[in-house]
Each structure stands twice: as C-alpha cells, then as structure tokens.
Amino acid sequence: VPVIGVLALQGDVREHLAAARALGATALTVRRPQELAGVDGVVLPGGESTTIGKLAARSGVLEPLRAAIAGGLPAYGSCAGMILLADRLLGAPPDQVTVGGLDVTVRRNAFGRQVDSFESEVALEGLPGGPVHAVFIRAPWVEQAGPGVQVLGRVVGGEADGRIVAVRQGNLVATSFHPELTGDRRVHALFVDIVRRHLDQKAGVSAGYERGT
Ligand code: GLN
C-alpha cells in the first residue's frame, strides 16, 4: 500500500488525506523532515502558497522536500501546491519561497480579482470518464511550460480560453483547481497510480541489485 504524505502546514489538508484514503492509500500528514522520509509520494495542498513556503522553511522541511522531489519523489500540487512546485513564478513577491521541480512558469492569482472563484468543466488528457468539474479559487495558471512538460488540461471558453490548468512532468502533477473539494477522485487516482509505478520500479531496481544484474 503506497504511503501518501500531505504537507500539513496550512491549507486544505484534510480533503487531500480523505481523497488518498478513499483510493486505498495510507495517508499521513507531513510537517517535519522525519515525516517526509517515510512517504512514497507527497501532496502539496491548496491554501496560501507564501504562507506554506514560509512555514516549510521554518520547520526545516523545505530543503529535504526540494531534495526528495529532485530525486524523483512523486508529488502532486493543487492550486497553491502548483505554485510551490513551479520553477518560475509571475505575480509573486520577489522573496516568495518555493519548492520547485516543475519546469513551468506559473502566474499567481491569474484569473483576476473580479473572478476570484469559479467552476468549469475541464477535459483532462488520459483521464477516463469525461471532463472533471474543476473548482478554481484565486487560482494560478501555467503561463509557459517547458519541453518535458505534458499539458493535461486547458480552460475552454471565456476570457481564459486555452490557459493551461493541469500538467504532468514525470512523477510531478499539478492542477490549478481543487479536485479534493469535489469528491471526484480521478486526479488523485492518477497520482496514486504514479506513486505505485514508482514503488514498483524501485522494487525492480533493488531486486536487480540483489540478483547482481
Ligand atoms: N492564491 C493562492 C496563492 O497564491 C492559491 C489559492 C488556492 O490554493 N486556492 O497561494
């Protein structure tokens, strides 16, 4: 059973724990470096990215988290979590602390203040069962994605038509919206599947070492 850690410094932690558990994973909160060491994948929740970044630096979990993600630990970020995973930010204070790892430029609060929150159907590449009902709350979007980044979903219609709101790069997944708030578990299922494959791959590699291959 994969162990999913949810970074639990601020934000909608409980909803992500519930989603992971509904999918049969073990879900634990992560606040300290020791807690990170025991997880097979990590979720960065929605919330306030500047606050989460500051608290992560203060608790000492930021550097281990950066190192783990750079080393291949699967991670999923929703909304503020997407901001934290981004390598480059727009509309952010210059001293904003991030985790990084995802080769994207993310614009914070991209949809503008007049449309703080809205809901929309978003079709996600490779996700069976039709579009997801996406909840956006003071959401970011991906303004530019590097060559290794797969665009999973875009806004359709309205002023933000075509804007990228879901991406994947290897073991990293990020969405501008909050699937944890809707009861639709398909995005989390995609992530848990990535975590399972990563675990299998690691087990295969260590079995290979034991056999001397
Ligand atoms: N606007 C928030 C930020 O910049 C993100 C909002 C959210 O996670 N719903 O951190």
Question: 122 and 153 in contact (C-beta within 8 Å)?
Answer: yes
Give per-residue pLDDT as tens, 118-139: 999 999 999 999 999 999 999 9
Residue 103, judged by CB atoms within 10 A of its CB (0-12, 13-18, 19+), counts as: middle
CA of 112 to the centre of ligand 1 (A): 12
CA-derived radius of gyration, the chain: 17
Tokens of 15: 């909803």
Tokens of 97: 């602390």
Residue 30: the pLDDT is: 98
Tokens of 205: 């590699």
Other Cβ atoms closer than 10 A to 23:
17
| Strand 150-154 to 132-137 pairing | unpaired
Residue 213: the pLDDT is: 60
pLDDT at 114 over 60: no
In one-letter notation, the amino acid at residue 30 is: V
Give bridge partners of residue 136 from the DSSP assignment. Answer: 118
Q: How confident is the model at residue 158 (pLDDT cuts 50, 70, 90)?
A: confident
Q: What average pLDDT does the chain have?
A: 95
* C-alpha distances out from residue 118 to 74, 81, 138, 159, Å: 29, 18, 9, 13
pLDDT at 180 over 80: yes
Atom 5 (ligand 1): residue with closest C-alpha? 80
* C-alpha distances out from residue 6 to 78, 160, 167, 192, Å: 11, 30, 19, 13
48 among annotated binding-site residues:
yes
Ligand 1 atom closest to the Cα of residue 78 is 8
Q: Which residues are catalytic?
A: 79, 178, 180
pLDDT at 78 over 70: yes
Listed residue (14, 26, 45, 6) closest to 196, CA to CA: 26
pLDDT at 50 over 80: yes
Phi, psi of 115, deg, nearest 5: -120, 55
CA of 173 to the centre of ligand 1 (A): 17
**Which DSSP symbol is given to 73?**
-
Which residues sit with their C-beta closer than 6 Å to ligand 1?
46-49, 79-80, 83, 108-109, 137-138
Query: Any idea which residue has 């606050």 for tokens?
Result: 51
Other Cβ atoms closer than 10 A to 94:
5
Segments making up each domain of the chain, as ranges: 3-211
| Strand 102-107 to 41-44 pairing | unpaired
CA of 22 to the centre of ligand 1 (A): 25
Greater confidence (74 vs 212) lies with: 74
Cβ partners under 8 Å of residue 115, min gap 6 = none
CATH no. of 3-211: 3.40.50.880
Q: How confident is the model at residue 201 (pLDDT cuts 50, 70, 90)?
A: very high
Low-confidence winner among 110-119, 137-146, 191-200 (lowest mean pLDDT): 110-119
C-alpha to C-alpha distance for 187 and 165, rounded to whole angstroms = 13
pLDDT at 79 over 70: yes
How big is the chain, counted in residues? 213
Give per-residue pLDDT as tens, 59-76: 999 999 999 999 999 999
138 among annotated binding-site residues:
yes
